Structure 1
Amino acid sequence: MEHIRQFDWCYSQPDVYFLKESDLDNSVTEKILRNKFHNPMVSSESEDEQQNINWAEVFSKKEDFSRNNRVFVPCMPKFMQYPKLSALTSYQHFQCIKVLCSENPHILPEEFMQRPTKNDYKVFEELKPIYEKEQKEFIEWAKTQWTTIHCIRALRPKPPIEFVYDARFKMRENEMQSYPKMFDMAAQIPLETRNNNFDLVLSSDLKSVDIKLLPQIECRNITKKLTIMKQCAMPEPCNKHPCRFILPNEKAVSILPLIEIQRELAQFTLDNDAQYIASENSLKCLMELDRCWDITVSVVPVIGPDGESTNVVVLGDEFCINRESPVMRTYKAFKHLLEHTLVPPSERSKLQYKDLNDNVNEELHKNVLAEDTVLSSDDEDADNLCIVEDSEMAEDMEATKDEKKEGNKEKTNNVANKSNEDDQIGFYSCTCKDTMFERPPPRSFQRWQVRNKTTGEHFNIVVHSPHKVRDKRGEVLLEPIPEYQIELGASAQSKEKIQSLALSLMLRKNATLINVRVDGATGEVATFENMNSEEFKAKHGDLTNEISNTLHTAFNQLQGLLPGNYILRHEPNHGHNAILYVSKPSVKSSLVLEFDSTQLAEVDEAKNLKTPPVIIPVLLPYHKLKRMLPCAFTPHERQLARSPRRAPRRQRTPPRALQLESEAESGGAQGKWPKRKKKKKKN
């Protein structure tokens, strides 16, 4: 038996996979209960301490997790009540919405939607006539809702909108201080020519802008509420820089008034072989004939290199004398608020528009000035060298030097005192220094040629455009679309607005247009619609002929004007015409520039809001979530507007006299009035 004991026949390896207490601590169920993660490599807690699980915290975290996993839908409307049922069933809505979602993948990408099948496309084409008919009925019903419910949203802008608009108004009023104030009506000029073909061609880039130095915006998918109606910084009027403008031949903000800036621009225009110079804003106004606007027109005589005087026409930015309509105030405020909201904090420093090249040039300029001063001082010392042979002459020279130094000190002290007095007074003091509004956005200068193909007549024009923001691909144009009936559908852009956007895209290379639909009442962003110039042309067509037609007609009417200052005014009731006013001091002026932001342009603001916005069938995020077609009635009966139930009539007891009469007719007691029972007096 000894040899058997030497070999352990029953030898077995120890069970290393036996379940231990540490394994239970690191188990999945324990992690779920604790809702924590413990690294198994780290030593566990001591065995003596008992683990207290806060179940309330565990369940609250589970609720937060389920809440965060819900898809956020921007501008989600509340429960809507529709007047009638849709002509399409709920499944037909679902089939058609799959087709629309495939055409608009940027709308609510977090919400999954099946790909449309061939049958879905077929059904969509078959149901198009029925759907288009229902769209017309829905749009007519939306107009009735505008006059009864939604009009009040546009009539009362929120305080942040009014704050931004008032700041812009004060800036423009400060710019117009040097412009004449009295004007008389001169002529009515047309802005359209019929039966002619026109063209707009780029001749040369006179001054370009480095797009990479612009601040980059972020237009991500909207996963949480994004509102632009926030308090933001606004520029203040500056006495030293009345016009926030940088001339093309300079790098610093000009301190000249508006009239002098127009003279410098006229000289720059003639030097580049052109007869007109206009800002992008003025040209966009000429396109938008569906609203009121005023722009400055100056005819400046400029002497050319041959010694002859040539008149150059300068078109300035838009301005307004009184407070505009609520819709226009909201639109102009939204343009500024959009840029402020979409620029991330990391890019805010670039809003000062101080590029590196300007800083390097400033440093080089300072170094050159320092070298010049050193050289000049050396030369002066060399010129003033003299050999003094007598000690009395040396003392006289030192005395004269001391007198000169004292005189220079007195002069510098007087200059410093004068500058301090000026700073205290505030005249010519700079309020924009060391702020984010110290420099305006950079401007590019381009020379264009507007041609009439029928007659061969052409005009050379210099256009200067501001460049504000960009994205990863290039420059971006932000265009807000205020929505006042977002629960019914998206509002359409007017034909005139589309022409002005097409002009802005033509003036820029590789630019992208982003239409941002914003709830006009709350400022919440609904969608971002990106389009480059090619996609814009595919959607709206080539608008070059319409744009060049308006520009050529306007320049043709302005070419014979005498030197002076003018104002070009347009109102919607003028049609395709504008009124030209000339500066002429007189007792009875037809137009006086008295700026007042408290006085309304029209006393009855609701007059302009009688016409409701046009609703178009554009896919919005809540359409995708609800599986409902835009501009269509609901297919669900529970969403119909129910007529209010009438309360059941309560049976009132008839008067006692009528009861007695009925009893008498039925053969009962005689109809006598009941006697009142007198109360017995208590003794």
Structure 2
Amino acid sequence: MEHIRQFDWCSSRPDTYFISESDIDNSVTEKILRNKFFDPLISSDSEDDSKPKEKINWDEIFKKKKNDKLHRTVVPGFHPVPPFPKLSSLNGQQHYQLLKVLCAQNPDILPGEFIGRPSKQDHRIFEELKEAYAKEQKEFKDWAKTMWTSNHCVRALRPKPPIELVYDAEFKVAAHRLESFPKNYSLAAQIPLESANANCELVHEKVLIKVNNSSLPQIEIPDMSSRVYILNPYPAPEPCSKHPCRFTLPNESSMSILPLTEVQRELAQYAADNGAQYIASEEALRCLVEVGRRWLLALSVCQVMSMDGTPVPVVVLDSEFALQREAAPARTLAAFRRLLEHALVPPLEVKQANNKSEPAPTNKQAASTKQATNGADDMDDSDEDDDHLVIDTDDLPNTTDEQTAMETECSEENDEEEGSKHCEKGSKENDKSSKEKTTDAHNTSFDNSFDFFNCTCRDTFDKPPLRSYKKWKVVNKGTNDKYSIIVHTPHRAKGPGGEVVMEAVPEYQLELGASELPPHTVRSQALALMLRKNASILNVRIDSATGEIVTTEAVYHEDFVKEHSDVVASVSSRLFTALDQLQGLLPGHYVLQHELAHGNNAILYRPVPGGDGLTLNFECATLADADEAKSVRAPPTISPALLPIHKYRRILPCAFTPYPNQLPREPRRPATRQKTPPQAIKWPKRKGKKKKNNNNSNNN
């Protein structure tokens, strides 16, 4: 057993090492305890309390969890399948091949829905089936008109409450604008708005006041990946007593407080200074070329002094207004224009544009204000002109009592000199306090007397849009007659390629297709592009039932001229005809009215005391037509424009469906009930037996 070693397993070394604070901080247990579990992907060793840690909101992550199986493409303006009366003459494969060509021409329509690029064979089939497709379009348009008269016209007669709210607010503002105009008018003349043989041209002469695109707010065109609505809360405008016209004169930088008649006189003087015979707003000129709807224009002929000192008449054309409540489609269109601008132009952009448009004080103005302040500081308060005598009967008894009290205190003093000093000091303080009271009372009474002219549009209105002033010349090439006109144009927003003019297009038959723009709207858009440089028209189709934006289409000047070359030529001739008829009017205020029954003519009214022709009596609650259904009797024309619903359903626009399962099912016939079997035949009783029974009863 000598070779076996013995070990004392219970022996232990003396504990000579004690744990320090640094060891505890670096221990694994301490690191686990210090871990706040902000991010489980970060280990405990890499955490440092001194560095800010990003918190992960797990609730939002789980809420935004996307389920690919339930994900669907958003289709703007989606409606149920209409009751097609028959199948299309083209099969489903032909519809798909023609859709390839249309989708390649319109890549912005529903980009989330994939349709392949067209091949050469698809283009060849598109040309071959063009005649058959055009024939089917004609049949489809006729069927759409029957659907309008039976079902869809009701949609146009029932505008939403937000639409009515915006229209009523704009109506009140326009009525307040015309308060300074005469009230009674009589018929003066009938003016033609179109000449058959006029060959005219609109020539630009010079820019009087320019508006840079950098000072305009940037528009946000929606990408249509989600639904966008324009029926949002809108700050309804209110009539302002201080700014009745809400207009900035060309020589001023702030809104004018003058009434409409004085504003027109200032505009006439500005036109005479620049050698023009007419001055008009863009809205007035657009009304002159729109003969497909009713409108009223305020017109004035002002006698002003020209540059050489001779009096000259200048015709001023003002904005459009209405005396009574318009038809439902007109109210919807007017409200959609305001709501569309409010939805596409961010408020932050408008605020920044307003800050840019505010004129900075020039060096001369700053020097004059500085000199005025320095002069005010150097003025002597002891000047006799500044020490005005003010008599206030209300404060007179109080001041006399205070003065007598001060005099008695002064008499009780032992030192007469000190007493006299105290009396003089007290009397000066009393005079000063009485002056302050009287001036405060005077200021408050002044403010109360002019409270009617305080601004009430500061919170509800944005600033009016910037306006450019350009001088144009309307020339008749046949007779060589010409008229000079200054047009002031509002500029509201800009896009990636320049200025943008937004045009709202209400849609009432989206399940059938897009409506075609009326001819008078096309002429109005042509004039808007002619008056601007490097501008585009943004046609926004809006679902009238929900206010949802369906499509946005930007049309530039070059493309517009190629498509509507005849319309551009007719605009100049219409303007020349209207301006030629307004020559020779006497100075005064007039009203130009156009109704649908007037055709290509307008009625001019002149002011007459007690006239029975026209009265400026604004009634927003009274309809212009007692039968509002007259405005929707003419159905809109369906156009072959591609919509997202066409691409989603693989159906050509303005065509019937090629799929039999989309046809309306025939109503089921009621189940034939089995007829009850006839009752058993009952044989009649014998007559003899019946008589025998009767005899027996008689014997008894």
- TM normalised by structure 2 equals 0.81
**Unaligned stretches of 5+ in structure 1?**
1-35, 46-56, 386-394, 673-683
Letter of the 1:419 partner, please give it: F
Q: 1:530 aligns with which of 545, 554, 558?
A: 554
Q: 1:67 aligns with which of 67, 70, 78?
A: 70
Determine whether 1:159 maps to 2:164. no
Q: 2:440 aligns with which of 413, 437, 448?
A: 413
* Partner Cα distance (2:502, 2:621) in 1: 29
Contact 2:203 2:472 (C-alpha < 8 Å) held by counterparts? yes
User: 1:193: Cα distance to partner?
Assistant: 1.4
| Residues 61, 300 of structure 1: alpha-carbon distance in 2 compared, 3 angstrom cutoff | closer
* Partner Cα distance (2:39, 2:144) in 1: 54
User: 1:539: Cα distance to partner?
Assistant: 2.2
Q: 1:450 aligns with which of 470, 474, 487?
A: 474
| Residues 350, 44 of structure 1: alpha-carbon distance in 2 compared, 3 angstrom cutoff | closer
Match of 2:519?
495
Determine whether 1:432 maps to 2:434. no
* Partner Cα distance (2:526, 2:299) in 1: 23
Match of 2:369?
369
- Deviation per CA, 1:144-179, whole angstroms, max 9, x where unpaired? 111111111110000000010011001101101111
Match of 1:6?
none
Instruction: After TM superposition, list the pairs within 5 Å mapping 1:184-583 onto structure 2.
Output: 184-350=186-352, 353-355=354-356, 357-358=358-359, 360-361=360-361, 365=365, 368-375=368-375, 378=378, 409=436, 412-422=439-449, 426-433=451-458, 435=459, 437=461, 439-541=463-565, 543-583=567-607
- Deviation per CA, 1:623-681, whole angstroms, max 9, x where unpaired? 11221100111111111122212213434548xxx846xx25xxx56599xxxxxxxxx
- Deviation per CA, 1:495-527, whole angstroms, max 9, x where unpaired? 111011111111111112110000011101100
User: 1:411: Cα distance to partner?
Assistant: 5.9
Determine whether 1:630 maps to 2:648. no
Instruction: After TM superposition, list the pairs within 5 Å mapping 1:12-23 onto structure 2.
Output: none
* Partner Cα distance (1:623, 1:239) in 2: 51
Give 3-state SS (helix, strand or coil) of 1:496's partner.
helix
User: 1:38: Cα distance to partner?
Assistant: 6.2
User: 1:40: Cα distance to partner?
Assistant: 7.2
Letter of the 1:569 partner, please give it: Q
* Partner Cα distance (1:583, 1:118) in 2: 68
* Partner Cα distance (1:162, 1:640) in 2: 37
User: 1:58: Cα distance to partner?
Assistant: 11
* Partner Cα distance (1:325, 1:285) in 2: 17
Match of 2:31?
none
User: 1:85: Cα distance to partner?
Assistant: 0.5
* Partner Cα distance (2:45, 2:91) in 1: 62
Give 3-state SS (helix, strand or coil) of 1:339's partner.
helix
Letter of the 1:369 partner, please give it: T
Contact 1:422 1:428 (C-alpha < 8 Å) held by counterparts? no
User: 1:470: Cα distance to partner?
Assistant: 1.3
Contact 2:76 2:550 (C-alpha < 8 Å) held by counterparts? yes
Match of 2:640?
617
Match of 2:664?
641
| Residues 380, 158 of structure 1: alpha-carbon distance in 2 compared, 3 angstrom cutoff | same
Match of 1:5?
none
Identity in percent: 47
User: 1:370: Cα distance to partner?
Assistant: 3.9
Contact 1:162 1:329 (C-alpha < 8 Å) held by counterparts? yes
**Unaligned stretches of 5+ in structure 2?**
1-37, 48-59, 386-420, 688-700
CA RMSD, 1 decimal: 3.1
User: 1:532: Cα distance to partner?
Assistant: 1.2
User: Which shows bigger deviation, 235-244 or 341-350?
Assistant: 341-350
* Partner Cα distance (1:356, 1:500) in 2: 28
* Partner Cα distance (2:608, 2:384) in 1: 60
Letter of the 2:453 partner, please give it: Y
Q: 2:628 aligns with which of 602, 605, 608?
A: 605
* Partner Cα distance (1:604, 1:503) in 2: 33
Letter of the 2:443 partner, please give it: A
Contact 2:241 2:453 (C-alpha < 8 Å) held by counterparts? yes
* Partner Cα distance (1:159, 1:222) in 2: 25
- TM normalised by structure 1 equals 0.82
Q: Which has the larger radius of gyration?
A: 2
Match of 1:102?
104
* Partner Cα distance (2:431, 2:587) in 1: 51
- Deviation per CA, 1:455-482, whole angstroms, max 9, x where unpaired? 0000000101111111232211110100
| Residues 62, 443 of structure 1: alpha-carbon distance in 2 compared, 3 angstrom cutoff | closer
Match of 1:33?
none
Give 3-state SS (helix, strand or coil) of 2:102's partner.
helix
| Residues 407, 200 of structure 1: alpha-carbon distance in 2 compared, 3 angstrom cutoff | farther
Determine whether 1:182 maps to 2:184. yes
User: 1:243: Cα distance to partner?
Assistant: 0.8
| Residues 567, 61 of structure 1: alpha-carbon distance in 2 compared, 3 angstrom cutoff | closer
* Partner Cα distance (1:646, 1:513) in 2: 54
User: 1:383: Cα distance to partner?
Assistant: 9.4
User: 1:416: Cα distance to partner?
Assistant: 1.0
* Partner Cα distance (2:186, 2:347) in 1: 49
* Partner Cα distance (2:435, 2:280) in 1: 48
Letter of the 1:103 partner, please give it: Q
